[in-house]
């Protein structure tokens, strides 16, 4: 089923402009997101295949089937609760039956987890992005050799430097384990052998470990080498994660992040504070304020007027406050599932009777 089918069959109960335009936080470049609710026809509902959601390819237009919609409301899903409090100028279509679906039927202390808890996950996400921006990983991948070090006097030098200084190639060298010493090896060179060849220190750029060779007893090693295997494993993981992120990142948002010079995703951080403020308002006022009266403050965050560390500190303090508010709140622990089910049955009955 497609969105066009919902409209052609007149199945849509609610259709709203959502996201930043509903919040009043949009910019000239903002997309127009649409969210809505539909009810399957009686035949489709009683059929074998239940359709819980219909959306377009870009996912900026999403419609939830009535049962799925009520289910998400009982879970206090922020995006779904916001639909019930959409500003009048953002409502494109509303069936009068949707007036029976009121926010106060569903608001509960669960909002602390869904609004503030989600905001905390976004703070962690922002920290991850901040780390990637501040500590970029070079495109040229390091190899095992870059994590090997030669004992020199009371310290060490990198293996690569030692090879260059001695005019040696790693392919002509070989390693032998030193008993009772983890990741410590004796280094030998082909010129020390009367027969056979050494395997090299590593098998190439893609190698995940060093190579070991067989060396006759009695030959004095040219050097002693340490391989930081744990460091190399962590580097490989970081390298993979970083370049996967580069490949998938939203370049427009990334360029905005770099442009304001504060090394955080400003749009993400703006919505983090919006969610925190909404969580606080629900605890205090028992209502959802979609159109933001803190618009100026939130847009300042988006434009990069605050330091990243300061925002994280403010957010963490706000989380503590919100937890205290919900502990004292007389909101129910969770939405009343019996009433939610009764509402769903009533709506479904009325819809099918009308049709």
Q: Please give the chain's pLDDT, 355 residues, in tens.
A: 999 999 999 999 999 999 999 999 998 888 899 999 999 999 989 888 899 999 998 889 999 999 999 999 999 999 999 999 999 999 999 999 999 999 999 999 999 999 998 888 777 766 655 555 656 788 889 999 999 999 999 999 999 999 999 999 999 999 999 999 999 999 999 999 988 899 999 988 788 899 999 999 999 999 999 999 999 999 999 898 888 877 776 555 555 554 455 556 788 889 999 999 999 999 999 999 999 999 999 999 988 888 888 888 999 999 999 999 999 999 999 999 999 999 999 999 999 987 6
DSSP string, 27-53: -TT---EEEEEE---HHHHHSS----E
Same domain, 174 and 98: no
Does residue 8 lie in a domain region?
Answer: yes
The per-residue pLDDT for 129 is 58
Same domain, 51 and 150: no
Q: Round to the nearest angstrom and report the end-to-end CA distance of the chain.
A: 20
Residue ending a domain, choose from 176, 211, 230: 230
Residue ending a domain, choose from 188, 215, 230: 230
Same domain, 78 and 167: no
Same domain, 99 and 188: no
Same domain, 77 and 170: no
Cα–Cα distance, 94 to 78 (Å, whole number): 20
Same domain, 75 and 164: no
Say what the pTM is.
0.67
Residue range of the domain that includes 12: 1-105+335-355
Sheet holding 184-189, edge to edge: 155-158, 148-152, 223-227, 184-189, 173-177
Alpha carbon distances (Å) from 330 to 111, 205, 283, 325, 326? 13, 62, 9, 10, 8
Same domain, 4 and 98: yes
Nearest one of 118, 132, 115 to 308, comparing CA atoms: 132
Contact 199, 174 (CB under 8 A): yes
Structural domain count, the chain: 2
Does residue 191 lie in a domain region?
Answer: yes
> Taking the CA of residue 215 as centre, how many other CA atoms within 13 Å lie in the half-sphere pointing to its CB?
27
Does residue 82 lie in a domain region?
Answer: yes
Same domain, 4 and 101: yes
Same domain, 153 and 225: yes
Does residue 259 lie in a domain region?
Answer: no
Does residue 330 lie in a domain region?
Answer: no
- What 3-state DSSP class applies to 265? coil
The per-residue pLDDT for 126 is 64
CATH number of the domain bearing residue 339: 3.30.460
Same domain, 96 and 35: yes
Contact 196, 216 (CB under 8 A): no
Same domain, 5 and 101: yes
The per-residue pLDDT for 133 is 62
Does residue 252 lie in a domain region?
Answer: no
Residue ending a domain, choose from 203, 230, 257: 230
Does residue 275 lie in a domain region?
Answer: no
Does residue 281 lie in a domain region?
Answer: no
Cα–Cα distance, 279 to 287 (Å, whole number): 10
Contact 55, 62 (CB under 8 A): yes
């Amino acid at each position: 089923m497609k969105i066009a089918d919902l409209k052609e069959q007149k199945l849509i109960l609610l259709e709203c402009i959502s996201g930043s335009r509903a919040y009043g936080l949009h910019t000239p470049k903002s997309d127009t997101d649409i969210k809505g609710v539909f009810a399957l026809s009686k035949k489709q509902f009683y059929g074998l295949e239940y359709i819980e959601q219909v959306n377009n390819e870009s996912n900026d237009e999403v419609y939830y089937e009535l049962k799925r919609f009520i289910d998400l409301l009982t879970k206090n899903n922020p995006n779904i609760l916001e639909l019930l409090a959409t500003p009048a100028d953002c409502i494109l279509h509303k069936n009068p039956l949707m007036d029976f679906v009121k926010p106060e039927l569903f608001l509960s202390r669960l909002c602390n987890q869904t609004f503030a808890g989600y905001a905390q996950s976004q703070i962690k996400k922002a920290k991850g992005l901040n780390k990637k921006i501040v500590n970029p990983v070079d495109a040229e991948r390091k190899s095992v050799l870059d994590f090997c070090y030669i004992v020199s006097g009371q310290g060490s030098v990198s293996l690569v430097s030692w090879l260059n200084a001695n005019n040696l190639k790693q392919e002509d060298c070989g390693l032998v384990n030193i008993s009772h010493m983890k990741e410590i090896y004796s280094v030998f060179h082909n010129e020390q052998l009367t027969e056979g060849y050494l395997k090299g220190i590593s098998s190439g750029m893609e190698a995940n470990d060093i190579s070991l060779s067989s060396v006759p007893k009695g030959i004095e090693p040219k050097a002693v080498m340490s391989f930081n295997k744990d460091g190399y494993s962590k580097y490989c993981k970081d390298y993979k994660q970083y370049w996967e992120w580069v490949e998938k990142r939203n370049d427009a948002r990334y360029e905005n992040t770099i442009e304001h010079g504060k090394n955080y995703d400003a749009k993400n951080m703006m919505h983090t504070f919006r969610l925190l403020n909404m969580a606080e308002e629900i605890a205090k006022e028992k209502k959802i304020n979609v159109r933001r009266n803190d618009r100026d403050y939130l847009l300042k965050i988006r434009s990069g007027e605050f330091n990243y560390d300061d925002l994280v500190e403010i957010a963490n303090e706000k989380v503590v406050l919100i937890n205290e508010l919900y502990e004292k709140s007389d909101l129910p622990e969770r939405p009343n599932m019996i009433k939610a089910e009764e509402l769903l049955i009533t709506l479904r009955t009325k819809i099918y009777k009308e049709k």
